[in-house]
Amino acid sequence: MAIFGIIGAGNIGRNLSLALLARGHQVVIANSQGPQTLTALVEDLGPGARAATAEEAAAAGQYAVVAIPLPATQAVPVAPLTGKIVIDTCNYFPDRLGHVTRIDDGTITVPGLLQEHLPLSKVVRAFNHIDAGKIPTDGTPAGTRDRRALGLAGDDVSARTFVAGLYDELGFDAVDLGPLAESWRLDAGQPTFVVRQNADQLKANAAVAKR
């Protein structure tokens, strides 16, 4: 059993919490408005879930998940996440949420923004290219034929290994794409994005992605 601090209590925060709770983990979940606004969500999630501020969730979690709109990245608490693995689920939708010049010109990746904000944390991009609602429902046991695969990328090898194991625990094959510099292969609009793929298909789609 591990405790996950979930920063962001929307589609991803809720559904990833459901998947983690179903495997016996605990979640401490936060939004920007305060835990008093999350009473119904926590009741719905059931035992093992509690609401907190983002600072408290970051501090309470042995691991963290960031599941917020990309423009809110700068609000993610820094100090309580020092040294921790931080799973970044965020995507870049410039038409809806505004352009980031350094993403547009390729000088930084989408999860690279969070890694820059959290220099002492181990950021791994994961769970960003699956519909949130499928996270608790699409997992199957290891070895299942045509098992769904999900990709990950991060600069810390041990953090990538942890996230690969978490994918497996939640029912997905893991495809490790290497460092954050390769994470754009999972961006919105790439052939890897949101479609259901097994590991071979995901590797093939990542290989033909174009920046």
Ligand X SMILES: NC(=O)c1ccc[n+]([C@@H]2O[C@H](COP(=O)([O-])OP(=O)(O)OC[C@H]3O[C@@H](n4cnc5c(N)ncnc54)[C@H](OP(=O)(O)O)[C@@H]3O)[C@@H](O)[C@H]2O)c1
For binding to ligand X (CB under 6 A), which residues are involved?
7-13, 30-33, 54, 67-70, 72, 75, 89-91, 128, 131-132
Q: Name the minimum Å distance from CB 13 to ligand X.
A: 6
Total Cβ atoms within 10 A of residue 138: 17
Cα separations (Å) of 142 from 137, 139, 149, 168? Answer: 15, 9, 11, 7
Nearer to ligand X, 1 or 96 (CB): 96
Contact criterion met (CB below 8 Å) for 19 and 139:
yes
Q: Name the minimum Å distance from CB 91 to ligand X.
A: 3
Which residue's beta carbon is nearest to the bound ligand X? 10
Q: Name the minimum Å distance from CB 77 to ligand X.
A: 9
Nearer to ligand X, 122 or 125 (CB): 125
Nearer to ligand X, 85 or 135 (CB): 135
Q: Name the minimum Å distance from CB 143 to ligand X.
A: 26
Neighbouring residues of 78: CB distance < 8 A, sequence distance ≥ 6: 117, 118, 120
Q: Name the minimum Å distance from CB 8 to ligand X.
A: 3
Which residue type is seen at 38?
L
Nearer to ligand X, 88 or 173 (CB): 88
Buried b (16+ CB within 10 A) or exposed e, 103-133: beeeebbbbbbbbebbeebbbbbbbbbbebe
Nearer to ligand X, 7 or 124 (CB): 7
